[in-house]
């Protein structure tokens, strides 16, 4: 009996090795003859093999970058050479070459990547963070931030969303006035080009909140719809998305003439703890002057930590269901003028009850704001009401009421400016004067006397 079990195990291992190490031609027929246990093992083993080969390819390409021969020198770069001799796109070849070059400066990341414990995408994200860390982060914290990200990216439970979340927390802990790339609206692009056959080609690159709104809007419209006879929807995902976009545009044009000026605010779902929305908590970790190690604020002076403690259940950043993490600053800006629904949580963070959605700024209040401010109220801005948000001068999460004397219309650019921290160009302040009109006090760097101003564009 014991001998038979050993023989079966050896046979199973041989079958797995035979499939993984042989050609994929006819592999499906061979897989059908195996037990599902063996097929599962083949899938796992093949995945590990892919990681191993990816690390070898990155190392080989980087070695050619450092020591090219005549064939490689014929191309503009090693990435282009790789793309021209494989089925890779040039952009993919360039990413491989770029990662290989970047890993030279970070041996710890390289070692984990070479060991098959880090995917290509996760290695690229961690390298990008280490190459351009937050400006507010001291140099001594970089090794421990790196180790924290490596821990978040390792293991079978590691996901890109989890890693991006950890990066967002670190960026918030050492937050500077720089807008995170995922929230930088200045990078947004939408290219619409007519084609020769009478169609249009669309290509875009948007910030995370815009992407969240787009994905939320398309979600229900792009779901597979069975035919009347019950047969599955045969449309591929790209076709369903295109059909959903066309339907979204049609519905907008059908209803754009109805409603108030500026329309209803976008349905953007962001989840965040109420106390974190109300207050920007102090840095979750401090750097010990003597060791440079990161430690939690609750730890004593002797309790230095080797890695930053990131409790994924209690992070002070927002979270979008589609696009993932969002900084507290941007979340607070969105919350100024939104559809608000309260979710009551127990001590473990489990939902107990949900209140119906309600508007923080009602249609009547928005109409009154348009009559008072006539558009963006920031001095010198001529943005029309349709492109403005209602900004809470004292944020509602900090006890600021949703009343006319605590509201002002701001365009998205100036709304973003008002939610920036000191140090960008200085912090502007808004006050409602005795005339019940909004007055703007510039920072000393713009006006040493800080003389109050108000918009005179439409007076």
pLDDT tens digits for range 429-442: 899 988 899 999 98
Q: Are 70 and 78 in contact (CB under 8 A)?
A: no
Lowest mean pLDDT among 9-13, 165-169, 217-221, 430-434: 9-13
Reduce the DSSP state of residue 381 to 3 states and report it.
coil
Q: Which of 102-106, 181-185, 421-425 has the lowest mean pLDDT?
A: 421-425
Quote the strand ranges of 228-376, DSSP E. 285-287, 294-296, 318-320, 324-326, 339-340, 343-345, 351-354, 358-359
Identify the residue with better confidence: 144 or 327: 144
Is pLDDT at 184 greater than 50 in this prediction? yes
How far apart (Å, rounded) are the C-alpha atoms in residues 191 and 4? 65
Tens-digit pLDDT profile for residues 271-313: 666 666 555 444 333 333 333 333 333 333 333 434 445 554 4
Q: Can you tell me the distance from the alpha carbon of 412 to that of 419, in angstroms, rounded to the nearest whole number?
A: 11
Q: 222 and 243 in contact (C-beta within 8 Å)?
A: yes
Identify the pLDDT of residue 261: 47
pLDDT digits (tens, 9 = 90+) for 46-81: 999 999 999 999 999 999 999 999 888 888 899 999
**The model's pTM:** 0.55
Would you state the pLDDT for residue 180? Answer: 73
Q: What is the mean pLDDT of the chain?
A: 78
* DSSP secondary structure letter of residue 356: P
Q: Which of 106-120, 173-187, 382-396 has the lowest mean pLDDT?
A: 173-187
pLDDT tens sequence across 235-249: 888 989 998 888 888
Predicted local confidence at residue 355, as pLDDT? 66
C-alpha distance from residue 414 to each of 49, 266, 377, 385, 387 (Å): 51, 18, 9, 13, 11
pLDDT for 4: 42
Q: Which of 455, 441, 291 is CA-nearest to residue 385?
A: 455
- 367-369-374-375 Cα dihedral, nearest 10 degrees: -100
């Amino acid at each position: 009996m014991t001998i038979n079990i050993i023989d079966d195990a050896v046979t199973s291992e041989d079958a797995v090795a035979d499939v993984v190490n042989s050609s994929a031609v006819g592999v499906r027929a061979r897989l059908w003859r195996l037990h599902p246990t063996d097929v599962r093992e083949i899938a796992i083993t093949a995945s590990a093999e892919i990681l191993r080969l990816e690390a070898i390819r990155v190392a080989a390409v980087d070695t050619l970058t450092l020591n090219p021969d005549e064939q490689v020198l014929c191309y503009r770069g090693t990435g282009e050479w790789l793309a021209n001799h494989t089925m890779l796109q040039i952009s993919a070849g360039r990413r491989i070459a770029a990662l290989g070059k970047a890993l030279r400066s970070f041996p710890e990341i390289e070692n984990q990547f070479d060991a098959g414990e880090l995917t290509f995408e996760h290695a690229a994200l961690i390298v990008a963070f280490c190459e351009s860390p937050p400006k507010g982060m001291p140099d001594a914290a970089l090794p421990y931030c790196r180790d924290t990200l490596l821990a978040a990216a390792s293991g079978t439970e590691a996901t890109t969303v989890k890693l991006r979340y950890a990066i967002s927390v670190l960026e918030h802990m050492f937050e500077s006035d720089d807008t995170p790339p995922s929230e930088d609206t200045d990078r947004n692009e939408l290219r619409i080009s007519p084609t020769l056959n009478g169609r249009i080609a669309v290509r875009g690159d948007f910030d995370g909140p815009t992407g969240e709104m787009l994905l939320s809007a398309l979600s229900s419209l792009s779901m597979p719809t069975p035919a009347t006879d019950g047969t599955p929807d045969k449309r591929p995902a790209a076709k369903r998305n295109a059909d959903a976009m066309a339907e979204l545009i049609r519905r907008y044009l059908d209803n754009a003439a109805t409603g108030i000026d500026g329309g209803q605010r976008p349905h953007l779902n962001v989840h965040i703890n109420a106390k974190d929305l109300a207050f920007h908590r102090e840095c979750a970790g401090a750097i010990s002057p003597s060791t440079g190690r990161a430690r939690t604020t609750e730890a004593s002076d002797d309790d230095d930590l080797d890695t930053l403690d990131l409790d994924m259940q209690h992070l002070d950043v927002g979270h979008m269901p589609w696009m993932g993490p969002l900084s507290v600053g941007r979340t607070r800006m969105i919350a100024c003028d939104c559809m608000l629904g309260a979710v009551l949580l127990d001590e473990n963070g489990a939902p107990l009850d949900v209140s119906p959605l309600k508007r923080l700024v009602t249609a009547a209040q928005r109409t009154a704001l348009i009559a008072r401010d006539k558009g963006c109220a920031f001095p010198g801005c001529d943005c029309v009401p349709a492109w403005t948000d209602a900004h809470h001068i004292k944020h509602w999460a900090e006890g600021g009421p949703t009343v006319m004397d605590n509201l002002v219309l701001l365009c998205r650019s100036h709304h973003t400016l008002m939610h920036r921290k000191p140090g960008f160009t200085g912090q502007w302040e808004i006050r409602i004067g005795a005339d019940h009109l909004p007055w703007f006090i510039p920072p000393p760097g713009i006006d040493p006397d800080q003389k109050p101003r108000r918009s005179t564009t439409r007076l």
